[in-house]
Structure 1
Amino acid sequence: MIYFKFPFDEKLYSTDENSSENHINFYSFDGLRQVDCSGKIVEINQDNFDKITISSNDLKEDNNKFTPETKDEYLNNLNEVIEVIKDNQLPKLVYSRRKIFTDFNQIALKESFKNLCSAYPNAFSYILINGENSWMGAFSEVLGKFNKQTHIFETMSLAGTLPVSESWSEKEIEEQKPVSSYIRDILKKYSETLDESETYDHISGNIKHLRTDFKIKIQPEDLDTLIQELHPTPAVCGIPKDFCKENIQKLEKYPRELYAGYIKIETEESIQYFVNLRCSKLYKNAVHLFVGGGITAQSNPEKEWIETELKSEAVLKNLVVS
């Protein structure tokens, strides 16, 4: 069962599970796992959605015995990450953590999802109830959007995070630049003509990011290769990609699973790919919140901790529990 909304679109969609078609796929960060949502994509009107029951009884119990990092452990690990960055002269490495919320008896899943949609109208919002793979999230990061008629491919460089009220510092500006360079260099392999926007503020609830948009025309047969080259982007991994990916799996104390992977959604007009950030894994007795940040040689571990706390609020503050 999946319900979702596209960015800047009030319409709600699901899948017709009587159909054998498959238009929605979740891919893990490491590319080794895929979760498919079978059925044709259908629009759900609000009245019908209000009558639907999304029961937390369909969720699995959390029996992972996973212990999240304490603040002190996170700060110590981040100092280790910064040493790796300095020793290898990396522009950026993304380090994440898993936060666990258990202070409830029951989650009102439908109401929590509705809150998420209202709080983030410019985000891709979804709730997936699929036994062991039940997730919910809302995020604005687009890995790619391909128009089947015009063959125009669009993507974005989104990096640097601050509370909305604060001004950008050199750290955030320098964090975003290599993300844009990485995307620009890949796209130029596929087209000599590349449209690139100015860098501007992208507001997402209580935080903001720096964003640059890119647009090119590609051959349809190049789409899958291009997506594989782009993922994982520096926004969720680091630069250089393969080295950072390998070190993330050594340094982080947990598997990312679907966090920082991507969701592919194919309609008649387009194929869209969304990076699965600001998300949580749902259990009957726990919610696992996944949060991370781009770390550079200039990073301040205390500030990075505060940033991950802010990011965890994206889902946490919208949960309806009893």
Structure 2
Amino acid sequence: MIYFRYPFSDQILTIDEASAQKAVRFVSFDTDEIIDFNGNSKEISLNQFLDNTTDSDSLSSELIDFKEEKETDYLTKIQQVIDFVKENNLSKLVISRRKLLNLERDKVNLTQTFLHLCEAYPNAFVYFFIKDGKCWMGAFSEVLGKFNKKTSEFETMSLAGTIPVHEDWTHKEIEEQHPVTDYIKNILKDYSGEVGQSETYDHPSGNIKHLRTDFKVKINRQDVEKIISELHPTPAVCGFPKEFCQKAIAEFEDHPRSFYAGYIKVETDETIQYFVNLRCAEFFQNAVLLYVGGGITADSSPEKEWQETELKAGAVLKNLSFN
């Protein structure tokens, strides 16, 4: 079962599984785990969606023996990451954590939660799926790539830096976004003679905002997957250089990211779109795990990084609907 909604759309879509065509694919951060939904996408009405109301207590899997990372342990680790970033002269290294919400006395109305996310984040790709014993939901607006089959235009964006919507940018966020922009531009140069690049501007997302730069190029259809494999994971969810930072993440993080910071591929007759899977949560019968992270730089403050992850967790947390 899967439901999703495109950015700036009111349509709720699902998959008609009568076809063998791969319509929606979820790829994990390490690309080792893939969940496919085969068929053709089709719109359903709000009433049809509500007719299939699903609660967390109907899920088949439970979270067992999970220990949440304490704030003190996180602060100690982030200071070690800052030292590591300085020692290795890294522009940034992205470190994630998981926030636990126990459902011992409550159950989450997953259907209403999806609708709340759609309302709260009109510019986001919002999804909700249950398959193979897993249940995930998320809402985020970072596009890893979008290919127009008719025009051969490929679009992507550099999205990094996070602060509350009412605050002003500091040197830290500006320096955090620069390597993401340079990284993407250098990859696209290998596939197109002309790279269109926008000015950097604010990208609001609910209670927070990011810095964003857009790119547009014309490419060959057969190069789409090559570009995506080079772009993922971007410095925005990993760091740079990519391979070095991936190894460092494995050392500093004591948990698998699973589908967090992976990507979602959605294909239709006209387009192939790839969305980065951030602001997301994994749902169990007895708990919710909220996945969040932050770009650690030499200028980072452990306390501010903790506050930033708490702020990001609120993107899903404040939109949960309980029965």
* Cα distance in 1 between the residues matched to 2:61 and 2:148: 41
- The question of whether the paired residues in 1 share the 8 Å contact of 2:57 and 2:286 is answered with no
After the TM superposition, which of the residue ranges 155-164 and 46-55 deviates more from structure 2? 46-55
Secondary structure at the aligned position of 1:281 is classed as strand
* Cα distance in 2 between the residues matched to 1:267 and 1:18: 15
Secondary structure at the aligned position of 2:134 is classed as coil
Residue of structure 2 in register with 1:269 after alignment:
270
Matched, 1:34 2:59: no
| 1:24-63: CA deviation from partner (whole Å, max 9, x where unpaired) | 1000000111011122111112232232232434413324
Alignment RMSD, CA only?
1.1
| 1:211-232: CA deviation from partner (whole Å, max 9, x where unpaired) | 0000000000111111000000
Secondary structure at the aligned position of 2:228 is classed as helix
- The question of whether the paired residues in 2 share the 8 Å contact of 1:160 and 1:175 is answered with yes
Secondary structure at the aligned position of 1:232 is classed as coil
Aligned residues: 322
Q: Could you tell me which amino acid in structure 1 is paired with residue 273 of structure 2?
A: Q
- The question of whether the paired residues in 2 share the 8 Å contact of 1:58 and 1:131 is answered with no
* Cα distance in 1 between the residues matched to 2:50 and 2:64: 33
Residue of structure 2 in register with 1:166 after alignment:
167
- The question of whether the paired residues in 2 share the 8 Å contact of 1:154 and 1:213 is answered with yes
* Cα distance in 2 between the residues matched to 1:180 and 1:259: 21
- The question of whether the paired residues in 1 share the 8 Å contact of 2:53 and 2:109 is answered with no
**Shift of residue 292 of structure 1?**
0.3
Residue of structure 2 in register with 1:218 after alignment:
219
* Cα distance in 2 between the residues matched to 1:233 and 1:290: 17
Matched, 1:69 2:69: yes
- The question of whether the paired residues in 1 share the 8 Å contact of 2:63 and 2:285 is answered with no
In the superposition, the TM-score normalised over structure 2's length comes to: 0.97
User: Unaligned stretches of 5+ in structure 2?
Assistant: none
Q: Could you tell me which amino acid in structure 1 is paired with residue 195 of structure 2?
A: L
**Shift of residue 17 of structure 1?**
2.5
| 1:239-277: CA deviation from partner (whole Å, max 9, x where unpaired) | 000000111011012000000000000011100000000
Matched, 1:198 2:199: yes
Moved over 6 A (4+): none
Matched, 1:43 2:32: no
* Cα distance in 2 between the residues matched to 1:306 and 1:199: 25
User: Unaligned stretches of 5+ in structure 1?
Assistant: none
Matched, 1:240 2:241: yes
- The question of whether the paired residues in 2 share the 8 Å contact of 1:58 and 1:129 is answered with no
* Cα distance in 2 between the residues matched to 1:174 and 1:312: 23
| 1:103-142: CA deviation from partner (whole Å, max 9, x where unpaired) | 4421111011110100000000010111432100000111
In the superposition, the TM-score normalised over structure 1's length comes to: 0.98
* Cα distance in 2 between the residues matched to 1:97 and 1:39: 34
